């Protein structure tokens, strides 16, 4: 706790975390609203839900390479504020299209805009942290940032789910839009002159870099980013870990949502209930790892997270299917949140300690592409699979695969060692 108190004396870092908390709440709320929209139009369909969520991920493949150029060359504060304002304006239009009829086509286009803006917000949010704190405070700062993000997840998945369920989708989306505006207003209070390494560049320079980025094909940009990332031993490990994590999340997200809806007969309330306990566990796990992580190997922590996380995923599916017990479900997802938390904290810290500050925006954008690729591929595969076999078995297969990756990785790492940092 004393370590957290020390970084809370940093005004800019506190404002950053407040803005992140509100923005993360908005991110959770829009996902719940989209789940509610699909539930109303096509209840029980994993394929329809996957189609909507496709447009939350697809923008990263088109926008992230260009977003990295902006983040590295422009004021990160302004990028964060602009992204929040655009998302606010886009979200508020969704009820207008949703109320006009059962078609999801207009919603697809608006969702694309919202998450295209998030492609700028994501690398700017992550790459600005080293400009707010000293190098020796990076691990504890990343841990605290993850904790505040998790708090937003708790609020978003609990309060947000009940708002969508009982107040309705329309009011939930209006609140969603307001949250993005509050985040933008909070981030506008950051004192730019106190932030290190802010590059002042002319519009012509940015235009030139942007033009070069646009001229490159997606495959060329993706190849270039992967080559850079894989030239660093520690970055390779982080990329692989995040790919496994997001592939598992993609495989589970759509299937678990429909699985829970069918067992509990609710639209979003039960999802929010389980999500709340998962994020409470994540919050506690992140806090503990932030405090004791310096004494524990980062690669070892990640592999143990995969092994234990996969086991708890399997237990959740089996026990909820057999008992329909809220109590057991909440207890299991709480433990899942605790054991999986070291992955993100360790991964972000390794990148901050490995990559040059002038490349962080592009690096995080490239990592975002790889993460979303895993999410998208396995989300689509699992959604089609879940239409053909029992959804419980899809969840069990996913949990088994994650545990297997953790076991193999732990054994290999013990012999050879993937990461040179502790």
With CA atoms as reference, report the closest residue to 344 among 283, 266, 403. 283
Helix or strand (DSSP H, E) at 48: helix 46-57
Query: What pLDDT does residue 342 have?
Result: 85
Contact 33, 172 (CB under 8 A): yes
| CA dist., res. 82 & res. 121, Å (int) | 9
For tokens 């972000």, name the residue. Answer: 348
Please give the structure tokens belonging to residue 270: 């039960």
| CA dist., res. 192 & res. 83, Å (int) | 17
Q: Is 1.20.1250.20 the CATH classification of the domain at 2-193+203-416? A: yes
Contact 290, 144 (CB under 8 A): yes
Contact 95, 169 (CB under 8 A): yes
| CA dist., res. 8 & res. 132, Å (int) | 11
Query: What pLDDT does residue 238 have?
Result: 80
Lowest mean pLDDT among 77-86, 268-277, 306-315, 381-390: 268-277
Please give the structure tokens belonging to residue 37: 């929209």
| CA dist., res. 252 & res. 247, Å (int) | 9
Residue 358, pLDDT > 90, answer no
Lowest mean pLDDT among 141-150, 274-283, 384-393: 141-150
Determine the straight-line distance between the first and last CA of the chain, rounded to whole angstroms: 22
324: left (phi over 0), alpha (psi -120 to 50) or beta: left
Q: Which segment, 1-5, 53-57, 110-114, is predicted with the most confidence on average?
A: 110-114
Residue 369: CB atoms within 10 Å: 22
Across 147-164, average pLDDT: 77
Using only the alpha carbons of the chain, give its radius of gyration. Answer: 21
Residue 78 CB partners (closer than 8 Å, separation 6+): none
Lowest mean pLDDT among 87-101, 246-260, 370-384: 87-101
């Amino acid at each position: 706790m004393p370590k957290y108190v020390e970084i809370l004396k940093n005004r800019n870092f506190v404002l950053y975390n407040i803005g992140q908390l509100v923005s993360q709440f908005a991110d959770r709320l829009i996902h719940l609203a989209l789940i509610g929209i699909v539930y109303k139009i096509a209840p029980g369909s994993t394929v329809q839900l996957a189609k909507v969520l496709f447009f939350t991920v697809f923008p990263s493949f088109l926008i992230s390479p260009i977003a990295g150029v902006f983040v590295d060359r422009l004021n990160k504060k302004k990028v964060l504020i602009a992204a929040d304002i655009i998302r606010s304006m886009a979200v508020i239009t969704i009820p207008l299209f949703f109320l006009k009829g059962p078609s999801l086509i207009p919603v697809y286009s608006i969702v694309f805009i919202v998450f295209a803006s998030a492609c700028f917000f994501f690398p700017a949010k992550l790459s600005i942290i080293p400009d707010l704190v000293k190098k020796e405070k990076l691990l504890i700062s990343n841990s605290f940032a993850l904790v505040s993000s998790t708090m937003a997840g708790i609020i978003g998945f609990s309060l947000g789910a009940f708002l969508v369920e009982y107040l309705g989708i329309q009011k939930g989306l209006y609140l969603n839009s307001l949250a993005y505006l509050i985040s933008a207003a909070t981030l506008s209070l950051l004192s730019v002159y106190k932030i290190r390494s802010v590059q002042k560049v002319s519009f012509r320079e940015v235009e030139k870099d942007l033009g070069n980025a646009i001229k490159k094909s997606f495959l060329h940009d993706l190849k270039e980013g992967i080559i850079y990332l894989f030239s660093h031993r520690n970055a390779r490990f982080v990329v692989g870990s995040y790919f496994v994590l997001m592939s598992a999340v993609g495989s589970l997200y759509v299937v678990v949502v429909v699985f829970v809806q069918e067992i509990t007969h609710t639209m979003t309330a039960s999802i929010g209930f389980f999500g709340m306990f998962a994020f409470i566990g994540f919050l506690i796990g992140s806090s503990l790892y932030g405090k004791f992580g310096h004494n524990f190997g980062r690669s070892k922590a990640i592999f143990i997270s995969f092994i234990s996380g996969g086991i708890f995923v399997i237990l959740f599916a089996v026990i909820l299917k057999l008992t329909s017990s809220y109590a057991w479900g909440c207890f299991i997802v709480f433990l899942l949140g605790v054991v999986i938390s070291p992955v993100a904290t360790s991964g972000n810290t390794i990148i901050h300690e490995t990559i040059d500050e002038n490349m962080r925006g592009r690096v995080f954008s490239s990592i975002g592409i790889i993460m979303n690729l895993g999410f998208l591929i396995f989300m689509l595969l699992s959604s089609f699979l879940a239409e053909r076999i029992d959804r419980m078995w899809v969840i069990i297969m996913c949990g088994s695969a994650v545990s297997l990756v953790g076991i193999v990785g732990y054994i290999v790492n013990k012999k050879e060692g993937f990461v040179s940092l502790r």
